[in-house]
């Protein structure tokens, strides 16, 4: 299954994608704004994880993000923490290939994931958390229609210090 935006196409992850996932999760610049403190798994760990997870479930939807023009893997995107009764989920986006950052691919990935959430999963809310210093990410989220809802102070321990987390959300009627 593929779900396309203007610049990206989202497809189910395959065990063969493990090399990309491992490389992206091992790169300090790529995971700089991720709330991750553990070293990346070996390639075999990612392959096993992908093979064991259903490609799409209501609780966890995970896609490989590809360049729509040539199919090159450029990142990961997903919806998690889904609350079926409340019809909302949290969003995560990682543009792993540095050459694709700052060129609208993150914005298009975010928009395409939200379209999937609203059109295919019939959710009524998509939320996320972002570090305040991640200005590029915040701009991308705001372009798509996300609005800040609040700040959770000292919510994340990363790189030897506490960081705040900004909570944002978008709704079907506010998606741009």
Tell me if 58 is assigned to some domain. Answer: yes
Tell me if 65 is assigned to some domain. Answer: yes
The yes-or-no verdict on residue 30 having pLDDT over 80 is yes
Domain that holds residue 56: 2-123
Tell me if 97 is assigned to some domain. Answer: yes
Residues constituting the chain = 176
- Give the pLDDT score at 1: 62
Give dist(CA 150, CA 129) in Å, integer. 10
**DSSP structure class, residue 119:** I
Report yes or no: 85 and 122 within 8 Å, Cβ to Cβ. Answer: no
For the full predicted model, state whether its pTM sits above 0.85: yes
- What angle, rounded to 10 degrees, do the helices at 18-26 and 43-52 form? 120
Tell me if 147 is assigned to some domain. Answer: no
The yes-or-no verdict on residue 131 having pLDDT over 80 is yes
The β-bridge relationship of strands 8-12 and 61-67 is antiparallel
Q: What's the CATH number where 105 sits?
A: 3.40.630.30
pLDDT-derived band at 4, boundaries 50, 70, 90: very high
Q: How many domains does the chain have?
A: 1
Q: What mean pLDDT is predicted for residues 121-147? A: 96
Q: What mean pLDDT is predicted for residues 64-74? A: 97
Q: What mean pLDDT is predicted for residues 90-118? A: 97
Q: Residue 23, Cα to own-chain centre: how many angstroms? A: 16
Q: What mean pLDDT is predicted for residues 8-22? A: 93
Which residues does residue 41 pair with via DSSP β-bridges, in sequence order?
none
The β-bridge relationship of strands 88-95 and 61-67 is unpaired
Tell me if 36 is assigned to some domain. Answer: yes
pLDDT-derived band at 46, boundaries 50, 70, 90: confident
Q: What mean pLDDT is predicted for residues 20-36? A: 84
């Amino acid at each position: 299954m593929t779900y396309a935006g203007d610049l990206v196409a989202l497809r189910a992850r395959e065990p063969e994608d493990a090399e990309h996932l491992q490389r992206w999760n091992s790169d300090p610049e790529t995971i700089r704004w991720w709330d991750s403190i553990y070293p990346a798994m070996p390639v075999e760990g990612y392959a096993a994880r992908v093979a064991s997870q259903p490609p799409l479930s209501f609780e966890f939807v995970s896609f490989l993000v590809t360049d729509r023009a040539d199919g090159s893997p450029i990142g990961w995107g997903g919806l998690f923490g889904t609350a079926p009764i409340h019809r909302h989920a949290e969003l995560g986006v990682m543009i792993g290939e540095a050459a694709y950052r700052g060129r609208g691919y993150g914005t298009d990935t975010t928009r395409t994931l939200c379209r999937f959430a609203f059109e295919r999963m019939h959710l009524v809310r998509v939320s996320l958390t972002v570090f305040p210093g991640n200005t590029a990410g915040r701009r991308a989220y705001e372009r798509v229609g996300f609005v800040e809802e609040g700040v959770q102070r000292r919510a994340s321990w990363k790189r030897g210090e506490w960081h705040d987390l900004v909570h944002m959300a978008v709704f079907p009627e506010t998606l741009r």
